[in-house]
């Protein structure tokens, strides 16, 4: 396969979609060899069908704010690929949302879901609506207007949305409520639901916990203990907070958090009590991370409009906020300070230059599609429980999550180990994920 000709063609057709092109380039570059080994793939133009989404739904969402004014946002659902199961992936509400970002996320989701061992295709949706500063009633009206457009396109065996940035239990609850009203059916069409109406135990924790389980598998390949290690985290949302909770419970030292306004750093690690305060600040009060540093100036330093990476020495970095939040300079600063492992909680948080630095330095580097797959995995387990009309215990879900993360790690090792023994998790994850989806697409013909 001529990788550069393939990418040039996509660039010409989708010139204004940099995030989408970035995600595709990473995958295509790492599967080119294996793709060429099977000429049957190119005979049916499989790669192009795998990179271009099956379907994109776009719509206007009109809703009324608390002042009685009508506001208009864009809404989207990108149904990328359903070769191995129903479309599955989160919904993002953030002012930055556009088609390029949702196409990259849906593309990544297809590969991630393939790794989970469960039957889920890939999708992503969202809106440029910003929940920041909105009242509960405004959020509810927006969610209802969004689902009013989307409900015909989704279903328990068709497409199952969940949360992502700006969409947590509150938003999923409102969306599920309106979906149920429109369909007059109680089904498992959303995951991340409240525990009283079909939600799974451990789903809120799953992405963060899963990332720590994946990290433990990576560290074990080098005989390294987690206890006592300093871990820099970005973000302070769902993924970041549960990553920190698990890390602290295992004796690691969490030295940073951030939000879209700035970062807080505590070089000797937040105590469990301090973490609880941060957790409540972000979840109960929906506050800003700076408020913790203002309340405890002796414990934490606040860096306005800055990411944490250049402000703290750490052994391990777990970027858990958003895409392209760790660039080449950040990567060099982390490496210079002794960082030897990076496990991505966010989707595509490291820029291509940062990834090149990590791989060149031969540190442990896990891409999000492997490391953060715990969230969608437990979503898959929520779907299974909903179908059975049963509820599993927290212990059962957590132990299945651990097994799935270990399995994903094994797939990376199987397909990504270099001749010198270095595990290239990027190549491993992309190859394993690609092969499964490709086999399913081949078997199903040109559809």
Which residues carry out catalysis?
A: 124
Cβ pair 232, 316 in contact under 8 A: yes
Q: Which of 321, 341, 404, 433 binds ligand NDP (CB under 6 A)?
A: 321
Nearer to ligand 2IT, 73 or 191 (CB): 191
Helix 203-220 vs helix 394-416: angle between axes, to the nearest 10 degrees?
40
Residue with tokens 């295509």: 28
Binding of ligand 2IT by 235 (CB under 6 A): no
Binding of ligand NDP by 191 (CB under 6 A): no
| Size of the residue set binding ligand 2IT (CB under 6 A) | 12
Cβ pair 58, 384 in contact under 8 A: no
Q: Which of 347, 351, 411, 431 binds ligand 2IT (CB under 6 A)?
A: 347
Query: 74 in helix, strand or coil?
Result: strand
Q: Which of 30, 116, 191, 238 binds ligand NDP (CB under 6 A)?
A: 238
Residues 99-158 that bind ligand 2IT (CB under 6 A): 109, 112
Residue nearest to ligand NDP (CB): 237
Q: In 38-95, which residue ranges form alpha helices assigned H by DSSP?
A: 39-43, 46-51
- Phi, psi dihedrals of residue 256, rounded to the nearest 5°: -155, 160
Binding of ligand NDP by 23 (CB under 6 A): no
Strands 316-318 and 230-233: parallel
Query: 241 in helix, strand or coil?
Result: helix
Q: Which of 70, 72, 75, 71 is nearest to 59 (CA)?
A: 75
Strands, E assignment, 293-368: 301-304, 316-318, 341-343, 364-366
Cβ pair 423, 416 in contact under 8 A: yes
What is the C-alpha to C-alpha distance for residues 216 and 243, in angstroms, rounded to an integer? 12
Binding of ligand 2IT by 89 (CB under 6 A): yes
Q: Which of 322, 343, 385, 411 binds ligand NDP (CB under 6 A)?
A: 322
Q: Which of 17, 26, 159, 164 binds ligand NDP (CB under 6 A)?
A: 164
Residue 73 belongs to what H/E stretch? strand 70-81
Cβ at position 108, least distance to ligand 2IT in Å: 8
The listed partner (ligand NDP, ligand 2IT, none) that binds 79, CB under 5 to 8 Å by sort, is none
Nearer to ligand NDP, 165 or 441 (CB): 165
Q: Which of 346, 355, 412, 433 binds ligand NDP (CB under 6 A)?
A: 346
Near ligand NDP by CB under 6 A, which window of 17-25, 52-60, 222-230, 339-347? 339-347
Binding of ligand 2IT by 375 (CB under 6 A): yes
Cβ at position 14, least distance to ligand 2IT in Å: 21
The listed partner (ligand 2IT, ligand NDP, none) that binds 215, CB under 5 to 8 Å by sort, is none
What is the C-alpha to C-alpha distance for residues 288 and 293, in angstroms, rounded to an integer? 10
Binding of ligand 2IT by 90 (CB under 6 A): yes
| Size of the residue set binding ligand NDP (CB under 6 A) | 25
Binding of ligand NDP by 372 (CB under 6 A): yes
Nearer to ligand 2IT, 269 or 375 (CB): 375
What is the C-alpha to C-alpha distance for residues 228 and 209, in angstroms, rounded to an integer? 18
Q: Which of 19, 171, 205, 259 binds ligand NDP (CB under 6 A)?
A: 259
CB burial of 161-180 (b: ≥16 within 10 Å; e: otherwise) equals bbbbbbbbbebbbbbbbbbb
Q: Which of 376, 381, 397, 437 binds ligand 2IT (CB under 6 A)?
A: 376
The listed partner (ligand NDP, ligand 2IT, none) that binds 125, CB under 5 to 8 Å by sort, is none
Six-digit token pair at 158? Answer: 């068709």
Torsion over CA: 265, 268, 272, 273 (sign): negative
What is the C-alpha to C-alpha distance for residues 377 and 374, in angstroms, rounded to an integer? 5
Cβ at position 222, least distance to ligand NDP in Å: 25
Binding of ligand NDP by 200 (CB under 6 A): no
**Residues, the chain:** 447
What is the C-alpha to C-alpha distance for residues 249 and 272, in angstroms, rounded to an integer? 8
What is the C-alpha to C-alpha distance for residues 292 and 283, in angstroms, rounded to an integer? 13
What is the C-alpha to C-alpha distance for residues 414 and 411, in angstroms, rounded to an integer? 5
Query: 185 in helix, strand or coil?
Result: coil
Binding of ligand NDP by 320 (CB under 6 A): yes
Binding of ligand NDP by 236 (CB under 6 A): yes
Near ligand 2IT by CB under 6 A, which window of 29-37, 41-49, 88-96, 272-280? 88-96
Nearer to ligand NDP, 47 or 348 (CB): 348
Q: What residues line the site for ligand 2IT (CB under 6 A)?
A: 88-90, 109, 112, 162, 164, 191, 347, 375-376, 379
Q: Which residues bind ligand NDP (CB under 6 A)?
A: 94, 96, 163-166, 168, 207, 235-240, 259-261, 320-322, 345-347, 372, 375
């Amino acid at each position: 396969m001529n990788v550069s000709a393939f990418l040039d063609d996509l660039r010409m057709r989708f010139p204004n979609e940099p995030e989408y092109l970035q995600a595709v380039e990473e995958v295509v570059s790492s599967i080119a060899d294996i793709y060429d080994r099977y000429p049957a793939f190119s005979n049916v133009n499989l790669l192009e069908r795998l990179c271009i989404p099956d379907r994109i739904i776009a719509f206007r969402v009109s809703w009324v704010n608390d002042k009685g004014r009508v506001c208009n946002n864009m809404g989207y659902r990108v149904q990328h690929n359903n070769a191995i199961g129903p479309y599955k992936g989160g919904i993002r509400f953030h002012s930055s949302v556009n088609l390029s970002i949702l196409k990259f996320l849906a593309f990544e989701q297809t590969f991630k879901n393939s790794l989970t061992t469960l039957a889920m295709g890939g999708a992503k949706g969202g809106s440029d609506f910003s929940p920041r500063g909105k009242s509960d009633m405004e959020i509810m009206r927006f969610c209802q207007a969004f689902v009013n457009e989307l409900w015909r396109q989704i279903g328990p065996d068709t497409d199952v949305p969940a949360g992502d940035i700006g969409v947590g239990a509150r938003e999923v609850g409102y969306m599920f409520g309106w979906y149920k009203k429109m369909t007059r059916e109680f089904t498992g069409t959303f995951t991340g639901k409240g525990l009283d109406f079909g939600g799974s135990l451990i789903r809120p924790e799953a992405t963060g916990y899963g990332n720590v389980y994946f990290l433990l598998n990576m560290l074990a390949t080098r005989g390294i203990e987690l206890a006592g290690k300093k871990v820099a985290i970005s973000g302070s949302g769902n993924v970041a907070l549960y990553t920190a909770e698990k890390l602290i419970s295992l004796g690691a030292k969490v030295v940073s958090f951030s939000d879209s306004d700035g970062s807080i750093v505590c070089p000797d690690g937040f105590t469990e009590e301090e973490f609880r305060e941060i957790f409540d600040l972000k979840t109960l009060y929906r506050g800003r991370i700076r408020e913790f540093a203002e309340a405890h100036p002796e414990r934490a330093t606040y860096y306005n409009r800055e990411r944490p990476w250049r402000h703290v020495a750490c052994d391990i970095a777990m970027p858990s906020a958003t895409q392209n939040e760790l660039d080449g300079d950040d990567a060099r600063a982390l490496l210079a300070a002794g960082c030897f492992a990076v496990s991505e909680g966010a989707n595509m948080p490291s820029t291509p230059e940062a990834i090149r630095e990590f791989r060149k330095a031969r540190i442990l580097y896990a891409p999000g599609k492997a490391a953060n797959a715990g969230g969608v995995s437990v979503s898959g387990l929520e779907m299974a429980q909903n179908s059975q009309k049963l509820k599993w215990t927290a212990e059962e879900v957590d132990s299945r999550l651990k097994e799935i993360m270990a399995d994903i790690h094994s797939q990376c090792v199987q397909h990504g180990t270099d001749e010198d023994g270095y595990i290239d998790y990027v190549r491993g994850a992309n190859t394993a994920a690609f092969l499964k989806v490709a086999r399913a697409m081949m078997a199903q013909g040109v559809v």
